[in-house]
Amino acid sequence: MTTTAGWFDGQVAVVTGGASGIGRAAAVRLMNDGACVVLVDRDADALAATRGEIGAAAAIVADVSDEESVRNYVRQTMLNGAEIIGPPREVVLVFQDYSRSLYPWLTVSDNVAMPLKANQETRKALSAADRKTRVAEALEAVGLAAAGNKYPWQLSGGMQQRVALARAVAFRPEILLLDEPFASVDALVREELEDLVLRLRQRLGVTVVLVTHDIDEAVYLSDRVFVLGPPPSVVVREVRVPLPRPRVQVETRSSGEFLELRNIIHAEIMRRPQKEDDDADVR
């Protein structure tokens, strides 16, 4: 099976799997480069698709064990009707390590404004006043309205990751890629940031693709979970997550439906056999 990612418009898609080195982060990097639009399952010939239309959505590449091969095979990728020949401006990537993605010599506001100044198209389209407004709105959206004049080193780890999210929000992307964005913060801050991402998704209508090792996080955040198997890193299962929104940490995570979905994904990662009468929402 090959497919474009038009499924994901306005949704949260999560890529997860068991072992390290199976291609989760590589998939996100390829999406950020606009290089590929194929989803290949274990019964298909890898890299069978060479073109696709991804709309206002993101792409999942299942066979990412050889990144260069993917780049060579996938051609004429389209985003909103236009061929992608480089990293698309509609896509923004938030890195895992906030301490290395922020500029310590710039204030929080200047960090958030950086992509608005660095991107030539955006710099021409926005006046200085418009950029200032976008920065203020982005900081307010992540709960840092009063932190604009501080420097990253004056903030906690969780607040620094909020700055990284604000920088992405200020650019107003259609697709937000998150590469294990909460891996470097403690458990309570992680929950706060998870809820922040869900609020941003609801507020902005942005498509989110997130990579995580955490099965509970995958279920809590997502509309769909893609489980990657061991190299050659194919999608071994897609799990739809019909949990009601808005989601609440304790309430949602303690529900029977949440636990059932978690167990299905965990069993798939551990290669345990699945019962034949899995819920119709899971395939």
Contact 77, 50 (CB under 8 A): no
| Residue range 117-173, pLDDT digits in tens | 887 777 777 888 999 999 999 999 999 999 999 999 999 999 999 999 999 999 888
How far, in Å, CA of 137 to CA of 194, rounded? 20
**What average pLDDT is seen over the chain?**
75
**Confidence at residue 236, expressed as pLDDT on a 0 to 100 scale:** 81
**Of 25-39, 44-58, 99-113, 248-262, which range is least confident?**
44-58
| Residue range 167-206, pLDDT digits in tens | 999 988 888 888 888 888 889 999 999 999 999 999 888 8
**Confidence at residue 132, expressed as pLDDT on a 0 to 100 scale:** 94
Segment 211-231 mean pLDDT: 87
**Confidence at residue 71, expressed as pLDDT on a 0 to 100 scale:** 52
The more confident residue out of 207 and 8 is: 207
DSSP E strand stretches across 38-174:
52-53, 77-79, 82-83, 91-94
Domains of the chain: 91-172 (3.40.50.300)
Contact 78, 69 (CB under 8 A): no
The more confident residue out of 230 and 163 is: 163
pLDDT surpassing 80 at residue 268: yes
**Confidence at residue 226, expressed as pLDDT on a 0 to 100 scale:** 86
